[in-house]
Amino acid sequence: MIKRKSAMRREATKNMRAGDGVIVNDHILEKDEMQTNCRLFTRMTIEPGASIGYHAHAEEEDIYYILSGIATVCDNGETRTLYPGEVIFTGDGDSHSIANKGEVPVELIDVILTYATPAK
C-alpha cells in the first residue's frame, strides 16, 4: 500500500486532554489501514502556547518522537525538555503531557500501540 500525503486526514483538536490551544494531527495511517495493534500513527503539530494535558494510558503505549521544535513533557510527574531526535515512551499505567513553550511549532510522530488483539 502506498498512501500519498494528499490522502492523509488532517484533524485539529482544541484543548486536547484539557490542554491549551489547538493540536493538529495528520493521520499517516488510519487504524483500519493497519493490521497490527497500532491505534494511532500521526504527524502531530503543536503550535507555540499549545499543549496536551496530563493523562494516563491503560493497556497501551504512547510514543512521541520529536522531529522539530523544543517540547516540554511531563513524564510520570517529572518535567523534562525534549529536542529533535529524542523520544518519550509512556507505557501501560504511566502518565504524560506535552507542551510547546517555545516560539516555533513542535512537530512529532505519535504512535499508540494497544495490548488488544487486532480484529481480523
Give the per-residue pLDDT at 65.
98
Cβ 55 vs Cβ 34: under 8 Å = no
Q: What is the pTM of this model?
A: 0.93
- What is the per-residue pLDDT across 19-69, written as a single tens digit (0 to 9) for each? 999 999 999 999 999 988 999 999 999 999 999 999 999 999 999 999 999
DSSP secondary structure, 4-73, as one string: -GGGSPEEEEETGGG-SSEEEEEEEE-GGG-SSSEEEEEEEEE-TT-EEEEEE-SSEEEEEEEEES-EEE
C-alpha cell at position 19: 490542554
Give the per-residue pLDDT at 116.
73
C-alpha cell at position 33: 489501514
pLDDT higher than threshold 60 for residue 119 = no
- What is the per-residue pLDDT across 69-109, written as a single tens digit (0 to 9) for each? 999 999 999 999 999 999 999 999 999 999 999 999 999 99
